[in-house]
């Protein structure tokens, strides 16, 4: 991304990201990290229902179709919805690191309009890790995975403990997530966003 702020530039001592040995295999669908998540959850009627797949290294691909409920200007995706799609995609990268992290900073460029009915094809990768800081980048394309860039973002995620969610989330949702018998879904419920 051009013009990225200094806060999104990895420090000199940053290291190359390493995919966790138990991360999903390339091509594997990651699934929703929480059913009620606006970005990827299937239980949100107006959510993005974004579907992400593990890529090679520490990368993923994702897609979502812009619905009428996602528009801002008539017939066009709302910029905040597009930023949400980028944030959700970038946050899903942390599953490949098997790290619980939240968005610390997200800088987005809106390059071209995204009409309602369009499938947005997203690609994201972790570029560096420095202590608890995870640096990543993403692009969203229209017209196919190799189509023109419509949106792009750089992000900084900060590794946190699960207590971040327990201490700050609504008790009903936290308890429901913690009571989920599926260990993968339970772990994924606490992976992205502040």
Token pair of 141 as six digits: 């394309």
Specify the range with the lowest mean pLDDT, choosing from 99-103, 173-177, 185-189: 185-189
Give residues with Cβ within 8 angstroms of 54, minimum separation 6: 23, 24, 25, 26, 27, 28, 30, 60, 96
Predicted confidence band at 183 (pLDDT cuts at 50, 70, 90)? low
User: Exposed, middle or buried, 5 (CB in 10 Å: 0-12/13-18/19+)?
Assistant: exposed
pLDDT value at position 190? 61
Token pair of 16 as six digits: 């190359």
Question: pLDDT tens digits for 166-178?
Answer: 565 666 766 666 6
- Among 81, 101, 104, which residue's Cα sits nearest to residue 93? 101
Helix and strand numbers, DSSP H then E, in the chain: 5, 6
Residue the block writes with tokens 């308890």 = 175
Percent of the chain whose pLDDT exceeds 70: 81
Question: pLDDT tens digits for 44-78?
Answer: 888 898 999 999 999 999 999 999 999 999 999 99
pLDDT value at position 7? 87
Residue 194 has pLDDT above 50, yes or no: no
Predicted confidence band at 131 (pLDDT cuts at 50, 70, 90)? very high
Token pair of 83 as six digits: 């930023």
Q: What whole-number distance in Å separates Cα of residue 71 and Cα of residue 81?
A: 8
* Region 78-102 average pLDDT: 93
Token pair of 10 as six digits: 């990895």
């Amino acid at each position: 991304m051009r013009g990225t702020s200094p806060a999104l530039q990895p420090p000199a001592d940053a290291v190359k990201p390493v995919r966790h040995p138990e991360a999903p295999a390339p091509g594997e669908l990651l699934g929703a990290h929480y059913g009620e998540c606006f970005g990827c959850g299937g239980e949100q009627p107006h959510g993005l229902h974004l579907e992400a797949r593990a890529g090679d290294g520490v990368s993923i691909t994702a897609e979502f179709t812009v619905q009428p409920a996602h528009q801002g200007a008539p017939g066009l995706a709302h910029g905040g919805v597009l930023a949400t799609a980028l944030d959700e995609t970038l946050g899903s990268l942390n599953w490949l690191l098997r790290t619980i992290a939240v968005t610390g900073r997200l800088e987005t460029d809106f390059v071209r309009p995204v009409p309602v009915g369009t499938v947005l094809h997203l690609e994201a990768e972790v570029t560096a890790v420095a202590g608890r800081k995870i640096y990543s980048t993403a692009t969203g394309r229209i017209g196919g995975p190799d189509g023109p860039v419509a949106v792009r973002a750089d992000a900084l995620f900060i590794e946190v403990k699960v207590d971040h969610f327990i201490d700050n989330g609504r008790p009903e949702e936290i308890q429901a997530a913690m009571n989920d018998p599926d260990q993968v879904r339970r772990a994924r419920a606490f992976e992205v966003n502040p």
